[in-house]
Amino acid sequence: MKNRILKLIKEQSIWIILIFSLIFFGIMTANFFSFRNFQNILLQTSINGIMAIGMTYVILNGNIDLSIGMIYALCAAVVIGFQSLGIVPSVLIALAVGLIIGAINGIFVAKAEINAFIVTLAAMIGVKGLLFVYTGERAIIGTNLNFTYLASIRIGFMPLPAIIFIVLLIIGEYILRNTSHGRNAYAIGGNQDAAEKAGIDVKKHIIINFMLSGGMAAIAGIIAASRMNTATTTLGRMDHLWVIIAVVLGGTNLNGGYGSLIRTLGGILVIGILNNGLNLMNVHTFYNMLIMGIILILVIYIGKKFEVTKS
């Protein structure tokens, strides 16, 4: 009985953390529980949230993608840089860039069997190089005002970026639960050799998931570019960390095989609320970084503890 309760707490811990952080910031700050602030939180979390969708797929396979922050920054620059071709072509080009880099990552991980951590760490610095070469180290400023209008569209009370995030999340969760690609994602993460022996085309699924991760980073970059109308070389520096922390905090297992997008949503919301609340409390962003780093280490520690007691 005690074990069952412990298990329940462990499995649903993200929602408990969410409730506690809501209560904490509700007490500590005056304007936290306002309609406008929640709208803000949704808008602020949508960019990292979209990236977290792709990351969840990659982590479910037991891999990781450190390059998304830089893919996000590069795609933001590309979508503004190609604006003269029109909005649709520039968006498609940015998407293609994200998918191609994701595919490169996926091919090296799946077909050359190099550790995903190394592949994407290398891609992170390489894509940063591409970003600097493409922008020539300058900020790119957009000229097409229709493009900037996109991110400010509201449907009802919901900003468009938040709607895109939620729609992608629902589709992503549906795929995970109801399609063979989703089931195979869990199988590969659970035991890659067994999945291979069961006839699953492991390599194909891994490559697709890295492409998903790159593609989602591209979408996030396009939205960010639309919101800011500029792309700088300092964009995306820490985003891969935030996203990984959100996914792991949500309870998706870094070794693969266990997790879901609903959990990731929980992680994303907690981080969004934490950032927003600390901001309202006038805590400097330096401390957010500190807290996030410590949370990441704590989550790994707790995960490890639980693993030991289970076996």
Partner 1 sequence: MSNGKLGKFSKEKILLILKKQGILIFFAILLLSVSLVSDKFLSLRNITLVLRQVSITGVMACGITFILISGNYDLSIGSLLSLTTVIVINLHDKIGPVPAILITLVVGVLIGIINGTLVGYLKLNSMIVTLGMLTVLQAVTLIYTGGTYSAISNPEEAWFRFFGRGYVFGIPTPVIIFGLFVIFFTIILTKTVYGKYLFALGGNRTASLYTGIKENYITFITYIVTGLTTAVAGIMMGSRMMAAQNYIGEGYEFTVLTAVVLGGTSLFGGSGSVIKTLVGVLILGFLSNAFIMLGFPYYVQWIVQWGIIIGAVWMDVASKRGKLWA
Distance in angstroms (rounded) separating the CA atoms of residues 298 and 196: 33
- Selected range binding partner 1 among 43-51, 144-152, 220-228, 291-299, rule: CB under 8 A: 291-299
Nearest to 15 by CA among 297, 268, 300, 278: 268
Among 96, 163, 254, 280, interactor with partner 1 by CB under 8 A: 254
Closest distance of CB 122 from partner 1, Å: 4
How many residues at the interface with partner 1, by CB under 8 A? Answer: 40
Looking at 88-96, 174-182, 216-224, 279-287, which segment touches partner 1 (CB under 8 A)? 279-287
CA dihedral sign, ordered 167, 169, 172, 174: negative
306 sits near partner 1 (criterion: CB under 8 A): no
Choice between 126 and 190, CB closer to partner 1: 126
SS3 223: helix
The residue within the footprint of partner 1, chosen from 87, 92, 121, 280 (CB under 8 A), is 121
What letter represents residue 56's amino acid? T
- CB contact at 8 A, 212 and 102: yes
CA–CA separation, 124 and 166 (whole Å): 27
Let me know the angle formed at the C-alpha of 261 by 10 and 34, rounded to the nearest 5 degrees: 85
Bridge-based pairing of strands 154-155 and 230-231 is: unpaired
Site string for partner 1, 128-157 (x = CB under 8 A): xxx-xx--xx--------------------
Q: Which is nearer to partner 1, 145 or 308 (CB)?
A: 308
Residue 197 found at the interface with partner 1 (CB under 8 A)? no
Q: Is 6 near partner 1 (CB under 8 A)?
A: no
Does 33 engage in binding with partner 1 (CB under 8 A)?
no
Q: Should residue 283 be labelled a site residue for partner 1 when binding is judged by CB under 8 A?
A: no
Residues 200-239 contacting partner 1, CB under 8 A: 238
Nearer of residues 161 and 257 to partner 1, judged by Cβ: 257
> Which of 130, 160 has the CB closer to partner 1?
130
Q: What angle do CA 35, 38, 39 make, to 5 degrees?
A: 85
CA distances from 259 to 60, 66, 80, 208, 311 (A): 7, 19, 35, 18, 19
Q: Is 30 exposed, middle or buried (0-12, 13-18, 19+ CB in 10 A)?
A: exposed
Q: Assess 310 for contact with partner 1 (CB under 8 A).
A: no
Interface residue list for partner 1 (CB under 8 A): 108, 111-115, 117-119, 121-130, 132-133, 136-137, 238, 241, 244, 254, 284, 286-287, 289-290, 292-294, 296-297, 300-301, 304
